[in-house]
Structure formats: structure tokens, C-alpha cells
Structure 1
């Protein structure tokens, strides 16, 4: 009788111990969920309707499904807009919007519709991307790989703003400085006297291009580990994704003017000296950019094109981002962009995009007063480049021309 009673005591104690272990385990899992979620700074407190009751199942809770649920509660696919519908109201909508979203005015209700031609423009650009990615006549490295197959180092141009549900792929020499400024303002990653910076033009240029100011996809691995790729795909599905492009040849001219016609020590040492030695008959070019400019030495535009076409160039290192093709920077056949802006229509596209993101009352796209490279200059710039080299250069950048709707420059290629 004593043995039976002792056995029952051990059973009760064992059961209690197992229950305690289960409680501790689920508490740790809950903590890890919170730790691994993307940090989102607090925005305006908007009342949410209680979530609908779902029938209970025996399915084991999943960390990845929790990530999906976390993002889903904030966003609709591809819009960056809140999922809570705005209740109908016949009173002044602007005043109601102010009342609803104090202290921050993140979501603007517009009283005039967006021009139909702007919506159609975006539809045509998105449709063209889809058609070109499905067209077998457009061939380029990496076109048919999956998003999972893209190396982490090639995801460094995708900037994420979790506050507003935005992903921006920046393309150097396509107004990326100003769009990076806007992303800093929206993400509130820069404070001034303890207050988030609201003026894009007040952000110093050296900070604009400082990688620590931007949370990019290639940083996900360090923060999220093995869940990084899954979380990227969740955000790609739910966030509004955009990029800006320009005529590929004009972009090359702009890159050359900015990096080799101006004094830039870094680009002189890394690239200009190589061009001068290989193609400029300068076996021992000046040691510094100041010395080179003082005697009127710098690589010509023709030298720059030779450098791009030289097979040895990419054997040594990938193209620099300022002249790397857009399809290599932004992966348009793996990422379905919601908005494709062109520098040639920058002001209209910027206004349209900020309005679509519902942040046009928070930030404005800065108007550039700098001397921009014009498309009409192409013939003059390429006059020193042999016709055969121009045709080879077009082949190198043809995917960008066709993906983003830029005409083949016949007047340059057939002279």
C-alpha cells in the first residue's frame, strides 16, 4: 500500500514538472518572436477592430507564420496602406483626417483624383517589365533565377522603410541622393535636437550615402539569421516597391562627368589610373587627382567606354554601382515593382509616387537645380567613340533599354 501511494506522488510531481517546463518553453518562444520582429518606431495610435475569431486547429504554432501575421496586420499587398477601412463620412475629410491621426499626419486624404494618364503610365511600365521578363528574346545573366538564388551581397541596393511599408531600390545617377534623403526622413533614422529630421535638403551629403543610415536587404542576415530570406519575401509581397531609372547611355555620360571630370580622389585612384595606363598611353599616371588635373590629365569618355567593354574589367571586380546595369542592381525579373519612375519625367512621377504612398504631406521631392546631363548631348559625347564600340556598348546595356522602355539609339549606333 505504501509503494502504491509513493508511486502516485511521483506521478503528480512529474506531471507538475512537465507543465512547468512547457510554460517556460512557450514563454521563451514568445520572447524570441518579439526579438526577431523588425523594429518599428511608434506611429499614431489608430484603433483597430478586434481580429475575427478563427477556429482552433491542432497545427503547431509556426514562427514564420507569426512573421506573416505581424506584417499582414499593418498592410495590404503592394500598397503600403493601412488595412483598416476609413469609415464613410460626409463631413470635411481633411479635418477628420487631422483629428484621426494626431500627432503625426502620415496619411493624407485627397480631394482630387490622380490624373488618369499618370495611372496609365505606371500600368504600361509595369506591364512592359512583366512582358520583357517573360520574353525569351531578352537575355541577360541571372534573368531566370529565383529570388532565393540572388546572393546576399547583391541585395544591398534595396532600402526598407518599415514605418510606411516601402522598399526603394536606388540606382546611382538617377536622383538617388534625393530619394535616399526622403527615405531617411520617412524612416526617421536621423534626429536633430532629439526630433526626426523633416527637411530632406538639410541632410548632409556624406550622411545621405552612409550605409549606416539605411536598412537594406543585405543586412537582414545579421539581424534575422536563417529567417532573413523569408522575411524579405514577406516584405516584398506586402510593401510598396519602387525604383527610378533613366536612359542607360545618358546615365553613363552622367557617371563619367561626375566621377572623372570632377576631382574625385577615390575614383581617380581606383579607376582613372587604370584607364590612363591601359588606354591613355600613361604608363605612370600622376599619383593624385590634384596632380593629374594640374597638368590636364584625366581619362577621356572614349577611355571610359573602352574600360567598360574590356573583358579584363569584370574579371578584376564587378562594375561599380555608378555604371552597373539596373537589372543587376534591382533584379526587376525577381521583384515585381509597384512603381517605376523615369528621371525624364521625374517631377510628375515623384508627385504621383509620394501621393500613392500617402506621404506627400510629410515630405516633398527636392527640386534639383544642378546642371543635369541631357539626352540631346548623346551624339556629341559618343562622337569620339568608334561605331563598333557603341554597338558593343548597346549590347552590354540592351536589357536596361528594353526592360524600361527606352528606344534603341539608332542615331548613335548607325552613323
Structure 2
């Protein structure tokens, strides 16, 4: 009996020691030698390797999945049944199938190496945007909730917009109404988390919209605790240090117009029940709004843009629940003062920025950013949309989103605020 107990103690101590060795190895050696096609240390300043170095990365193809799978399998030995993703029963077709993809992974054709540098003006643009973020985060005159907290102080639930692609060493913080559907498609293609007939999906536009926004398709920071337990924060910091982190933003007021048009001028049952009915009752003299979105639209009833802004400015709104992600401030979604982004894209320069980013990641021959032919909300429409608001409401709204304007270099809309 005593011998058996001593054996179990030695097994537990040995296992704990092995976990420490894995974490130390991960931290010291880093992920830069473990991922297939791109250097994952942050910083667009790192030059592309010369062509003849490219061939040295090929033998690592088979090592990558096994190392990552071993870590997951080892950590899951210490989780209760049903709490570790790899040991859970396999979900339906919409599940994250990245591990299966790795098992069936077939090396791609030779990846091209760029011999010509990125245009100086594009490099300068990124340098200016990154520098502005650093300056605004250090500037005491720019104040907003959560600005001075540490990364460790950010709750896990507020890290659900940070999507991780371990295959290429990329972290993307998605902002709704800023082309996030297409960037999520890109991340699914890069991470190979969607299989079709056992082969990773290569065409972003072939990914159905319901899967694009299905949380099981993306490995986000808020899922780290479930997979890595008490080592989650440590691994987050390692990846933040070594991976390329990017974000796309747009003019905050134009983003609000886009959110309103998409969620309240189109038939959306979920948003009608969760938000539109509240707006109609509180601000549109509709004490008993229609029960369904179809009934409301058939009767020509929906909240106005002015009702929507009233809802945002009403203190009762945030008391009941945090802003929905479609109109939540970017600084609350992506924490730019705690995370040093390597690439800051603007929707207003999306075409150039997307090409620059994919080239910087050296995946531009594998995937292209889908061009959208849909009507985009134009910044020139702002004065028309905001003309229905009082001057006081416009100024209050600017205060609510001022941090996003200043952090990301958007001019104060004086023409709207001073009308």
C-alpha cells in the first residue's frame, strides 16, 4: 500500500516538473522556430529572409503539429473530463477541425519570396500609426476606462476578440463593422480550421457566413483558460511577444452609421428583439412594439437613427449590459494600450493595407483579401445622418467615442459638432 502511494506521489511530482520544463522551453526558445512559413517575432522591421533560406523551413512541417498536440495532450491530463478541448467529444461539422487538418496536412507548393521591398510610404504609414498609439497611450490628456490597467487585469471575457493562428504566428483583433467577416475568413484559411472532404478550405469566399462568425471556428484568447489552465496568461504573453498582431479600424461615427444600417434597417430578428424593441419603447412612443421584426417592417416600424443614438447615450443602457460588440468602442474590444499592435489597418485604406499586411505575413500567394462590391457607408454621408441629432447629442456622442478618434488618428469631426 505504501509503495503504491509513493509511486503516485512520484508520478505527480514528475508530471509537474515536466510541465515546468515545457513552459520554460516555450518561453526561452519561442515559437519562431516552430511555425511553418513566417517569422513570428513581432515587428514589420524584420527583413524577409533571402530565397535560399526558405528551403530550411520545410523539414519543420512535420514537427509543428506533433509538438503543439503534445502540449495540448499533456496539459489535458490534468483537467477534469469535459473541460479540455482535445478530450471533449468531437462537435458537429461546425467544430474547429484544426488538429484533424494538421494530421492530413499536405505541404504546399514552394512559397514565393519577395525580392522587392514594400513601398516606403506604406512602411511610413504603419510607423506613424503605431507611434500615434504609443503616444496616445502615454498621454495623460487622453483618458478612458481601463487605459492604465495591466494586461493581467483584463478579464478573460474581454479577450474574446483576439483570434490566434498558431500555424503562422498571427493574432487578429476583430472589430465588427470593419470588414471583420472577411478577415475572419482569412484567419480560417490560414489556421486551416475548416475542412472540405478532408482538405483545408483555401477560398475565403467559399466559407459560409454562419461559419465565419461561429466561435468554434476560431481559437481566441478567452479560450486559453479552458485549454491551458493556470498557464493560460503566461502563454498569452508569450504569443503577444512573439506573434504579429494586427487590427483594422474605421472612422468611429461612420462605423456607428454602418452598424445602424446593418442591424436596424434590415430584418434581423435577434437585434430587433434584443435592442430595437427597447429603443421603440423608450424613445419612439411605442409602448407595445410589434412582437416580431417581420410584423414591425410590414408596418413600417423600426427605430430611427436618432433613437439609436439616444440608446447609446442613455446611462441606463450600460447599467443593464455592456455595449454590443457592433457599437462597442474599439479600445474596449482590442485593448490597444495593453497590446502593442504591429499593424494597424484602416478601412479607408483597406485595399493597400490588406495587401501590405498579407505580404508582410508572407501569405499573399496563399490567400487574397476578398474585395467587397457591396455599398459601403461613406464618410461624406455623416452630415446627413447626424443632422437629425441635436448639437448637444452630437457632442456627447463624440465624448463617448473620443478615445477611438484620437488613438487611431481620426480627425475631430468639427463640421458635425459645430453645426
TM-score, structure 1 normalization: 0.78
CA-atom RMSD in angstroms: 12.0
Shift of 1:104: 1.7
Q: Which of 4-13 and 378-387 deviates more?
A: 4-13
Q: Deviations over 1:79-137 (max 9, x none)?
A: 99999999999999999999999932474311222100000000000000000000000
Once superposed, which parts of structure 1, at least 4 consecutive aligned residues long, lie more than 6 Å away? 1-51, 53-102
Choose 334-343 or 15-24, whichever is displaced more. Answer: 15-24
Measured at CA, do residues 174 and 76 of structure 1 come closer, stay the same or move farther in structure 2, by a change above 3 Å?
farther
Contact 1:78–1:240 (CA under 8 A) maintained in structure 2: no
Judged with a 3 Å threshold, the aligned counterparts in structure 2 of structure 1 residues 353 and 88 are, in CA distance, closer, same or farther, namely farther
Contact 1:160 1:215 in 2 (8 A): yes
Mean alpha-carbon deviation: is it higher for 254-263 or for 32-41? 32-41
**1:211 maps to which residue?**
215
Equivalent of 2:266 in 258, 262, 265: 262
Q: In the aligned structure 1, how far is the partner of 2:74 from the partner of 2:143?
A: 38
Aligned pair in 2 of structure 1 residues 72, 337: CA closer, same or farther (>3 Å)? farther
Q: Contact 1:81–1:357 at 8 Å: present in 2 too? A: no
- Give the match's secondary structure for 2:102: helix
Whether the 8 Å CA contact 1:261–1:298 is kept in 2: the answer is yes
Q: 2: CA distance between counterparts of 1:72 and 1:5?
A: 23
8 Å CA contact 1:78–1:237 kept in 2: the answer is: no
Give the number of aligned pairs: 414
**For 1:388 and 1:5, how far apart are their aligned partners in 2?**
73
Structure 2, unpaired ranges of 5+: 52-56
Kindly tell me: are residues 280 and 349 of structure 1, through their superposed partners in 2, closer, same or farther at Cα, counting changes over 3 Å?
same
Per-residue CA distance 1:208-267 (angstroms, 9 max, x = gap): 000000000000000000000000000000000000000000000000000000000000
1:5 and 1:211 map into 2 onto residues whose CA distance is: 43
- Which runs of 5 or more structure 1 residues have no equivalent in the other structure? none
Task: Please tell me whether the aligned partners of residues 159 and 222 of structure 2 are also in contact (alpha carbons under 8 angstroms).
Answer: yes
**Contact persistence 1:33–1:63 (CA under 8 A):** no
Distance 1:178 1:58, change over 3 A: closer
Q: Compared with structure 1, are the counterparts of its residues 69 and 220 closer, same or farther at alpha carbon in structure 2 (3 Å cutoff)? A: closer
CA deviations 1:312-342 (Å, max 9, x no partner) are 0000000000000000000000000000000
Distance 2:98 2:23 in 1: 49
Contact 1:160 1:214 in 2 (8 A): yes
**In the alignment, is the contact (CA less than 8 A) between 2:194 and 2:201 conserved in 1?**
yes
TM-score scaled by structure 2? 0.77
Deviates more, 1:7-16 or 1:276-285: 7-16
Q: Which moved more, 1:32-41 or 1:238-247?
A: 32-41
Structure 1 CA distance, aligned partners of 2:303 and 2:94? 65
Q: Which has the larger radius of gyration?
A: 1
